[in-house]
Amino acid sequence: MPVFGIVTPTVAVVLLIVALIIFGPGKLPELGKSLGRGIREFKDATDTGDDKQPQQPSPVQTAQAAQPAPESRPAGTKTE
């Protein structure tokens, strides 16, 4: 008989019977849906969590941002 951590097949059956007694047959599908939705949202949040952190600009981008943009003037105009 395979053992998956603490929850053996016998323990799983007993837990399902206890849950059925406590919540009733009408409430169990709703609880399963909400549990699955919560797990899915948690996985989505942990998978995309790294993408939401701001990236630090590279030294080249920082240097380019620090330099003012050259002024553009029409040809033939004098600067004062």
Domain parsing of the chain, residue ranges: 1-46
pLDDT grade for 14, boundaries at 50, 70 and 90? very high
Q: What percent of the chain has pLDDT over 90?
A: 21
pLDDT grade for 80, boundaries at 50, 70 and 90? low
Q: Is 76 left (phi over 0), alpha (psi -120 to 50) or beta?
A: left
Place of tokens 């380019």: 64
1-46: CATH number: 1.20.5
Distance, CA of 9 to CA of 1 (rounded, Å): 8
Question: What's the pTM?
Answer: 0.42
Q: Which of helix, strand or coil describes residue 4? A: strand
Q: Residue 67: what pLDDT?
A: 62
Question: Is the predicted pLDDT of residue 69 greater than 90, yes or no?
Answer: no
β-pair partners for 4: 7
Distance, CA of 59 to CA of 67 (rounded, Å): 13
Question: Is the predicted pLDDT of residue 48 greater than 80, yes or no?
Answer: no
Cα torsion at 21, 23, 25, 31 (round to 10°)?
-140
